[in-house]
Amino acid sequence: MTTPNLIEIKNLHKYFGKNEVLKGLDIQIKKGEVVVMIGPSGSGKSTFLRTMNLLETPTKGEVYFEGTNIADKTVDVFKHRERMGMVFQQFNLFPNMTVLENLTLAPINTGKLGKDEAASVARELLEKVGLSDKAESYPQSLSGGQQQRVAIARALAMTPDVMLFDEPTSALDPEMVGEVLNVMQTLAKDGMTMVIVTHEMGFAKEVADRVIFMADGKIVETAPPKELFDDPKEARTQEFLAQIL
């Protein structure tokens, strides 16, 4: 028996005005899969992630998530978006709330958890990302790497079925990149389904099941990391890798 797709994207197009940014993407992601997306700046990677969880409305195409086409205007976007955790380059923590409050806000507000339960889940997650001692701290007192680990824990607090990461280490000082990648690697090992846009090729090689190379709004090539990095088939992929490696 084959594992069913958790996410199935069909012919996804996105225009901003007359600018076609996503030009018909087809992507399937299985439960537990770790997919890394790479590609030049402006190729549509962020737009892809944002369209996938309906922060942007697809112009055309279907986004099946757990069997439901969430691009259909009649479905409850919020209900499905809750099942997708998103981590951005800029951590976007709530500055006026403690770390613990950042983690408990969504579970409490959506009625998913009561106050005490939300707090105990939050403390477990802080332990998981190595920040048990920071529950009462405010975001601005933390380093960038710590803030990003809080952002990951906050996304996990809603027990999502997939985690989407948009260049989670790009805004960090180099010495803090490793601690964030380590947390992500642990998540992957625990079986979390993940879609990660990153320039960290070492991480991609080690952690990804599949790498998608995107350029100019299209998928150019998709392959397991070793194959894509060591033996890229498409000229466009070879060119890109030659620039960055």
Q: Which residues bind Mg ion (CB under 5 A)?
A: 45-46
What contacts 31, CB < 8 A, 6 or more positions away? 3, 4, 6, 161, 193
21 binds, among ligand ADP, Mg ion, none (CB under 5 to 8 A by kind): ligand ADP
**CB 88, min distance to ligand ADP, A:** 11
**CB 38, min distance to Mg ion, A:** 11
Q: Could you give the string, one character per residue 12-31, with x where binding to ligand ADP holds by CB under 6 A and - elsewhere?
A: ----x----x----------
- Angle between helix axes 144-156 and 99-109 (nearest 10 degrees) is 20
Q: Which is nearer to ligand ADP, 15 or 94 (CB)?
A: 15
What contacts 149, CB < 8 A, 6 or more positions away? 129, 130, 131, 179, 180, 183
**CB 93, min distance to ligand ADP, A:** 21
CA distance 15 to 193: 28
| Residue from 8, 33, 38, 44 binding ligand ADP (CB under 6 A) | 44
**CB 48, min distance to ligand ADP, A:** 7
61 binds, among ligand ADP, Mg ion, none (CB under 5 to 8 A by kind): none
Does position 198 bind ligand ADP by CB under 6 A?
A: no
CA distance 165 to 64: 19
101 sits in which H/E element: helix 99-109
**Cα 63 to the center of its chain, rounded Å:** 16
Does position 58 bind ligand ADP by CB under 6 A?
A: no
Closest residue to Mg ion, based on beta-carbon distance: 46
Rounded to 5 degrees, what angle do the CA atoms 193, 232, 243 make? Answer: 95
